Copies of this chain bind each other. A is one copy, B any other.
Amino acid sequence: MTVTIFPLQDFPLINPGDDLADILVAELRKISLENGDIIVIAHTIVSKAEDKVYNLDEVNPSAFALQIGELQEKDPRKIEVILQESSEIIRMNEHVLITATKHGFICANSGVDKSNTPGETVVGLPDDPDLSARRIKERILQDLGKNVAIIISDTFGRPLRVGTVNVAIGVVGINPVDDLRGHKDLFGYELVSTVVAKADEVAAAAGLVMGQADEGTPVIIVRGVEYAQVDTSAKILIRDRHTDVFR
C-alpha cells in the first residue's frame, strides 16, 4: 500500500463569486484523476468562492469587540467578525480568543483569517463545509465521471501540543473516522477503544504539501488511502461537550 500526495500546480487565484467547482474541474482535467482519490481543499478558496468575505471597512465593532481589541491589541473590526462567526467563547485572555464556531468547531478566532486575502478583508469558514464538499464532489462525478472523496481543511492549533496541523472541517464520500473497536490485534486481543481520526490524518498529510506562504497550493490530491465511502459529516470529529475533559 503506497500513498501519494501531490498538488494541483498553478491553481488559479479564487475571487469572491467564482464558480470553484467549474475552475476545479478544469484544473483536474490536466491530471489523471482516479476513482477513490481524496481531494483536500484549503477552506479559504471555498470561503472566497462562496463570498464568505468581510470587508473590514463595512464592519462596526461592538463595545465588546472594542474591549477585546484593546486587550489583545488587535483590529476590533476583525474581533467583531470573529464574534459574529462564533456561537460561544471557549477561552480568552490577552493573547488568545478561542471560540466554538456556529458549526461547533473549536478553534482560534472562529477560523477567521486575514492571510492570503487582498485588501482590508477577512474570510470566515464556509457556512456548511460538508455541503460545499458535496457540491464539488457531485460536479466532479458529473463532468469527469470519477468518484472521489472531498475534504475541506483548515489549520488548527491544538491544546497540549505546539503548532498547527491541517484538519478536516468538511467531508463527503469518506467516513472521517475509522472505528477499530472490535478488531483484533496481532495477538488476538480486542482493540477496545480505538477510533482513528482518518479524515484529520488525510488533512494533515495534505498539509505537508499545501504550504501556507508564497507557494500556497490550495488543492491537494491524496491517492492510495483505504477508506470507507460512508457519507457522514466532519462534525462527528467534534467531541461531545459533556464528555470532553479538556473543554
Contacts and interface: CB of A to CB of B under 8 A. Distances in A.
Interface of A: 1-7, 13, 91, 93, 95-96, 98, 106, 114-118, 155, 158-167, 176-178, 180, 183-187, 189, 191, 194-198, 200-202, 204-205, 207-209, 212-214, 216, 225, 236-239, 243-247
A222 B204 CA distance: 13
Nearest to A93: B245
B196 A207 contact: yes
A200 B163 contact: yes
A91 B209 CA distance: 35
Contact of A160 (B166, B195, B239): B239
Contact of A201 (B1, B183, B198, B208): B208
Q: Is the interface of A mostly helix, strand, loop or mixed?
A: loop
Given A91-B245, A185-B115, A195-B164, A212 B180 contact: yes
A129 B197 CA distance: 24
Given A2-B6, A4-B4, A244-B160, A197 B237 contact: no
Nearest to A119: B187
A162 B241 CA distance: 11
A212 B194 contact: yes
